[in-house]
Structure 1
Amino acid sequence: MIRFAIVGMGHIAKKHIDAIEKADGAELAAVCDTNPERLSDVSGVPVYTDMETMLKENEQIDVVNICVPSGLHAPLTRLAARYRRHIIVEKPMALCTNDAEEMIKAAKEYGVKLAVVHPNRFRPAIRKLKEAMERGMFGKLSHANATVRWNRNQAYYDQAAWRGTKAFDGGVLMNQAIHNLDLLLWLMGPVKAVQAMAATRLRKIETEDVAAAVVEFESGALGVIEAATTIYPQNLEESIAIFGETASVKIGGRTANFIETWEAEGVSEEERAKLIDEINADPFGKSGHQWIIEDMVQAIRENREPIVNGWDGLAPVRLIEAILRSAETGARVQLSQ
C-alpha cells in the first residue's frame, strides 16, 4: 500500500480522503492541520498540528497531499520534498511562476514525485474531446473558447480572512478558472501571447472577480477566455469549445461535463447520438481526485512522472500571470517567441 497524509483539513480535504479510501493501492496514514478543532472528528489515523513533526515522527508516510491555502503551497512542498516524501498539491500549485518553479526544482533535487490536482482532465466528455483532437478530427485549428461564469458571493469570501487575498488565494483566474485554463492549454498547446483586461467589480476582495483575455497559441490558433465570480444568482456555466476546419465541439453545463455540440466531418448523426448518450449515462465518471491518487500510486511503483506533473501545474499559473500583467499594463504580453 502507498500511504498518504493530508495537510490542511479544509473543505477540499474531504475529496482527498474519499479518493484515498476508494483508490486501489492507497491508504490514509495521517492528517495534519494547525487548527486542532479541525482534527477533532478524525479517527483511525494519527493527527498532527505541525507538518514537520508529522514527517519526522511518521516514517510510514509515502505521499503528502497539500490542501492548505494556495499561498502556502510552495513552502510546504519544499518541506515535504526535503523529507523525501512524494507530493500531491491542490490547484493552483502556486500563486506565481517563481514559486512553482522552486517547487519543481525541490522535487527534482530530492528525487520525489510532484503531482498537481487538475482533475477536470479525467471527465468523460473531456477525455473524448482529447482523444478526438489526438486523432486529428479538427484538422487545422481555428480557435478555442474557455468560459467560467460562476457565482461566489461576498459570504463565500468572508468565510475566511485569506479568501480573495493576493498573498494566499488569488482571484477568479487562480482560484475558479484555473481548471478550465488547464484544459485549454492541455487541448490547444502553449500560448505565445496574450492581451487582457481584469477588474474587481462586485466583491470586496483584493483580487479580480472578472477577467477577459484573447490569446494566440504557438500553433497560430486564437483563444478567448472569460472568467467571473459575479454571475447572479448562481453558477451559470463552465465550458470549453474547440473549433477547426473539420469539427466544432463544445463541452458545457455548469461544470463542463456535457456535450453541447459535437459536429465533425465523417461523424454520422447516429454516431453522435450514441456518444452523447454514453456521456449522459455517466457524465462525472470516476472522481478526478481518485484518478490523481491512483496515478500517484502507479507512478511510484513504476518510477515514472505523474500524469499531471509539476510542469503541467506551472503552465496555467504562467498564463494567469501574463493575463494579469497584460490587464495591469494594457500591453500585449509575450509568453514565447
Structure 2
Amino acid sequence: MTIRFGLIGCGRVAPRHAQSIQQIHEASLVAVADIKPSRADHFSREYSAAAHYDHRDLLERQDIDAVSVCVPSGLHAQVVLDALEAGKHVLVEKPIALILADADRMIAAAQERGLTLGVVLQNRYNSPMQMLRLAIDEGLLGRLYLGNACVRWYRPQSYYEDDWHGTWAMDGGALMNQSIHHIDALQWFMGPVQTVSAYSATLAHQMEAEDVGVAVLRFASGALATVEGSTLTWPQNLEGSVSIFGEHGSVKVGGTALNRVTLWKVRGQLEQESEILTSQRVDPPSVYGYSHREVIRDFAAALLEGRSPGTPGPEARKSLALVLAIYQSASEGREVKLG
C-alpha cells in the first residue's frame, strides 16, 4: 500500500517534496495545486501529476490520502484547516504557523478528526543531528551546560521583492524563516526554555521583518544558549550550525545546513573523532539540506503503521513559541518567560 499525496503550493521548496514523494516506495504523487496556473502546469508535466489552480479542487479528490503543504507561511493555517476538513492527513512546511492561535487550531482540528498533522523540520533527520541526539539521550555528554545556534546566511534584496518574503503577515524574518531549524534544534537537544532575551534589527535589506537577530536562552535545566540568525552575510551562506557543550563532551554540527560534524570531543570517544568527522559529512545541494525524503518517508510510514510522525504538530509548536518569544523580547526590550 502507498500513501497517495497531493502537493499544494509549487514554489521554491516544493520540488523537494515532489521529488521525495516520487523517490520512496511508500508514496505516490497524484495531483498538484498552485494559484499560478503556469507553475501548476509545470509541476504537472515535470512530475506526471494532475494540475489544479485552487487547492480546494485538489482536496475534493477521492484518490488523495494526504497533502504536502508548501504555500507561504502566512497561509499555512487556512490551507491546513481546509485539508483536515476534507479528511486529508497533512504534512506542512515549517513553521507550523506564524501565531500560536493558528497552530493550536490546526493541532486541535487534526486531533478532533483523528487525522495526522506533521511538520517539516527536516534537519532533525540529518545523520549528524541524529547521532548527537542519540549521544545526549545516552548521557554521553553528561549534564548540558551551554548551546549555540548560528545561522550566517545571505539573501539578496531580490529574495524579498516578491509578495511575501520578509513580511510579518506571510513570513517573518531571518529568525522565523531561516533560523527556526537551528532554534528548534537547541530546544530538541537541551529541553524546555524558561526565559529569552533578544535584540533584532533590519540593517541590509528593505523589508518589514528582521534580517539579523540575537538572543540568549535560559533553559529549565539552568543551562544557557545563544542564538545568532541573519540573512546579511554577504556574499554567500557561510554557516548554519548548532553547538552543544556538556559535562563530558563538546559537539558542533555545522556546514551550511547542519550537514556535517565539525567537532566531536566526547569522553570515551576521543580516538574516534577523526573517523566521525569524515563519516558524518554530507554536502547537500542547497541550504534546504538533504532530509526532506526522510521526513516524507517517516510521515508515510507513520500513516501506514498508525503511529505519530517524528515531528507532529505539538512538537513543531515548541519552536514556534520560542521564536515568537524571541520576537516579543526584541520588540519590548525585556526578558520574556515561556510557558
**1:319 partnered with 2:337:** no
**1:309 partnered with 2:312:** yes
Alignment partner of 1:295: what SS?
Answer: helix
Structure 2 alignment gaps of length 5 or more? none
Q: How does 1:118-137 map to 2 (within 5 A)?
A: 118-137=121-140
State the match for 2:242 in structure 1. 240
**1:102 partnered with 2:105:** yes
Matched to 1:97, the amino acid is: L
State the shift of 1:283 in Å.
Answer: 5.4
Q: How does 1:161-310 map to 2 (within 5 A)?
A: 161-269=163-271, 271-280=272-281, 282=282, 287-310=290-313
State the shift of 1:184 in Å.
Answer: 1.1
- Tell me if the contact between 1:125 and 1:283 (Cα under 8 Å) persists in the aligned partners: no
Structure 1 alignment gaps of length 5 or more? none
Q: Distance in 1 between matches of 2:266 and 2:35?
A: 52
State the shift of 1:277 in Å.
Answer: 2.1
State the shift of 1:93 in Å.
Answer: 1.1
Q: Distance in 1 between matches of 2:235 and 2:49?
A: 41
1:181-224 superposed Cα distances (whole Å, 9 cap, x missing partner): 11111111111110111111111000011000001111111110
- Tell me if the contact between 2:73 and 2:95 (Cα under 8 Å) persists in the aligned partners: yes
Q: Distance in 2 between matches of 1:265 and 1:53?
A: 57
* Selected match of 1:55 from 54, 59, 62: 59
State the match for 1:37 in structure 2. 38
- Tell me if the contact between 1:84 and 1:111 (Cα under 8 Å) persists in the aligned partners: no
State the match for 1:28 in structure 2. 29
Q: How many residues align?
A: 332
State the shift of 1:284 in Å.
Answer: 5.2
- Tell me if the contact between 1:213 and 1:225 (Cα under 8 Å) persists in the aligned partners: yes
Alignment partner of 1:186: what SS?
Answer: helix
Alignment partner of 1:40: what SS?
Answer: helix
State the shift of 1:18 in Å.
Answer: 0.6
Q: TM-score, normalised by structure 1?
A: 0.96
Q: Distance in 1 between matches of 2:187 and 2:96?
A: 16
Matched to 2:220, the amino acid is: E
- Tell me if the contact between 1:146 and 1:224 (Cα under 8 Å) persists in the aligned partners: yes
Alignment partner of 1:240: what SS?
Answer: strand
- Tell me if the contact between 2:264 and 2:276 (Cα under 8 Å) persists in the aligned partners: no
1:119-170 superposed Cα distances (whole Å, 9 cap, x missing partner): 0011111111111111101111111000101101101111x12111100111
State the shift of 1:252 in Å.
Answer: 1.2
Q: Distance in 1 between matches of 2:307 and 2:170?
A: 31
Q: TM-score, normalised by structure 2?
A: 0.95
**Deviation >3 Å, runs of 4+:** 282-287
Alignment partner of 2:322: what SS?
Answer: helix
Q: Distance in 1 between matches of 2:65 and 2:320?
A: 27
Matched to 2:126, the amino acid is: R
